[in-house]
Amino acid sequence: MLDVKQLDFYELNGYLSVEGVFSKTQIDALSDVTDQFVEKSRLVIEEDDIFGLESDHSSENPRLTRIKNPHKVHSVYEDIMRDNSLLDILQDLIGIDIRLQATKLNMKMPEGGRQIEWHTDWGHYPHTNDDLLAVGVPLDNATEENGCMLVIPGSHKWPEISHHQDGYFVGAVNGDHIDMVKAVPMTMNTGTISIHHVRTLHASAPNLSENPRRLLLLSYGAVDAFPLTGLGMSWDDWNKQIVRGRPTFQPRLERLPVFFPQPLKSGNTNIFHVQSDLKKSHFS
Ligand SMILES: O=C(O)CCC(=O)C(=O)O
């Protein structure tokens, strides 16, 4: 449960860190299973439904961008995604009816694990209302050197900024909109979680350290928030994503600024692919 100070901070800034949510045992279990997946990726030569690969990935030196949908590939991730103390916190922010939106485990491998350009999650998946958020669960302490997430406080209340370039959706805003002085690094130790609102501008720099920076990202929304791009799955599967509360046939509509995330140059919606079309990186 969050206190009034934490709720006010999130409302004002569009992000929050909460300490002591997960135990060392839980984080160690996540870390061990993740190590096993990295080992398995030695046999993988092309990106697939589980492994996102850096271009220099090899069996000798496995380099992943992410593990996709981790809650579907191992129960240790699913248990964290369904953790009751986590859902109690989310209930304070998006209400009692909660649906899982997506999970991913972003890996920034040592010495060069790639940046994520400035964007809002809303730019990638606009919904009928903005009661959506993403939870970051660090598997390693997140530092500025290893490419922790950066956020712009209060940007969840800005008018939406286009994520388009030359008529194509590139999944990132033009870096000229970002005043780096206002960017806050979300440094945190394992056990702490970050939460950011779906409309908060965020990014992260490359990993310049000698160790991996692994961040499990869990996105949730209010059950009555429906994606404007379509469900992308059957009605039954859509309702199976509910982690608390009941299904509804009635999307809640709010008057919010939206840019539709189309057209795509390559047809691939993965953030690493769409952002690779960006002409100028904010981090180079
Ligand atoms: O891994 C990160 O630092 C940020 C991830 C992110 O914003 C995303 O995958 O949408």
Q: How far is CA 47 from the centre of its chain?
A: 19
- Enumerate residues lining ligand 1, CB below 6 A: 106, 116, 149, 202, 204, 215, 217, 271
Closest Cα to atom 10, ligand 1: which residue?
Answer: 121
**Which of the four pLDDT bands, split at 50, 70 and 90, describes residue 95?**
very high
Looking at residue 269, its pLDDT comes to 86
> Distance, CA 170 to ligand 1 centroid (Å)?
15
Q: What pLDDT digit, counting tens, does each position of 221-234 carry?
A: 999 999 999 999 99
pLDDT at 266 over 90: no
> Distance, CA 57 to ligand 1 centroid (Å)?
20
Domain boundaries, the chain: 4-158+184-255
More confident position, 114 or 224: 224
Q: Which CATH architecture has domain 4-158+184-255?
A: Sandwich (2.60)
Q: What pLDDT digit, counting tens, does each position of 231-257 carry?
A: 999 999 999 999 999 999 999 999 999
* Nearest CA-CA partner of 119 in 182, 164, 154: 164
Looking at residue 83, its pLDDT comes to 98
Looking at residue 116, its pLDDT comes to 96
Looking at residue 178, its pLDDT comes to 82
The sign of the CA dihedral 191, 40, 103, 126 is: positive
Looking at residue 71, its pLDDT comes to 98
